[in-house]
Amino acid sequence: MTTPIDFKAQLIAEFQLNETRMNGESRSSLHQRRRQALMHFEQLGFPTIKHEEWKYSNVKNLVNQAFNITPVASITDDDLVSLQIPNLAGNILYFINGQYQPQLSTIVSPSEEVEILPFTEGYKKYPELVEKHFAQYADDSKDAFTALNTAFAQNGAFIYVPKGKVVETPIILRFISDARTENVAIQLRNLIIVGDRAEVKVAESFRTLGEFSSFTNTVTEAFVGEEAHFDHYKVQDETQKAYHIGTTQVQHSRASQTHDTTVTLNGGWIRNNLNLVLNGEHVEAHLNGLYLPNGRQHIDNHTLVDHAMPNSYSNELYKGIIFDQATGVFNGKIFVREDAQKTNAYQSCKNVLASPEATMNTKPQLEIYADDVKCSHGTTTGQMDEEALFYLQSRGVPKEKGRALLMLAFAEDVVERIKIPAIREYLETALAKKVGEV
pLDDT at 279: 97
How many other C-beta atoms can be found within 10 angstroms of the C-beta atom of residue 351? 22
C-alpha torsion 95→199→254→138, nearest 10: 0
pLDDT at 17: 82
Q: Which residue type occupies 274?
A: L
Burial class of residue 236, CB neighbours in 10 A (0-12, 13-18, 19+): buried
Helix (H, G, I), strand (E, B) or coil at 255: coil
Cβ(264)–Cβ(291) under 8 Å?
Answer: yes
- Alpha-carbon span 252 to 313, nearest angstrom: 12
* Phi, psi at 16, each rounded to 5°: -65, -35
Q: Among 165, 255, 215, which residue's Cα sits nearest to residue 46?
A: 215
DSSP 149-191: HHHT--SSEEEEE-TT-B--S-EEEEEEEE-SSS-EEEEEEEE
pLDDT at 4: 60
pLDDT in tens, the chain (438 residues): 445 678 999 999 888 887 766 655 556 788 889 999 999 999 999 999 999 999 999 999 999 999 999 898 888 888 888 899 999 999 999 999 999 999 999 999 999 999 999 999 999 999 999 999 999 999 999 999 999 999 999 899 999 999 999 999 999 999 999 999 999 999 999 999 999 999 999 999 999 999 999 999 999 999 999 999 999 999 999 999 999 999 999 999 999 999 999 999 999 999 999 999 999 999 999 999 999 999 999 999 999 999 999 999 999 999 999 999 999 999 999 999 999 999 999 999 999 999 999 999 999 999 999 999 999 999 999 887 777 777 677 877 887 888 888 889 999 999 999 999 999 999 999 999 998 853
Cβ(287)–Cβ(319) under 8 Å?
Answer: no
Residues 6+ apart with CB under 8 A from 383: 352, 353
> What single DSSP character describes residue 138?
S
SS (H, E, C) 80-118: HHHHCCCCCCCEEEEEECCEECCCCCECCCCCCCCEEEE
Please tell me the pTM assigned to this model. Answer: 0.95
Cβ(314)–Cβ(345) under 8 Å?
Answer: yes
Give the strands of the sheet with 115-118, arranged side by side: 115-118, 157-161, 184-194, 214-224, 242-252, 269-278, 298-307, 327-336, 359-368
How many other C-beta atoms can be found within 10 angstroms of the C-beta atom of residue 194? 28
Residues 6+ apart with CB under 8 A from 256: 194, 224, 225, 226, 227, 228, 229, 230, 280, 283, 284
What counts of helices (H) and strands (E) characterise the chain?
Answer: 9, 19
How many other C-beta atoms can be found within 10 angstroms of the C-beta atom of residue 19? 16
DSSP 121-132: HHHHH-HHHHHH
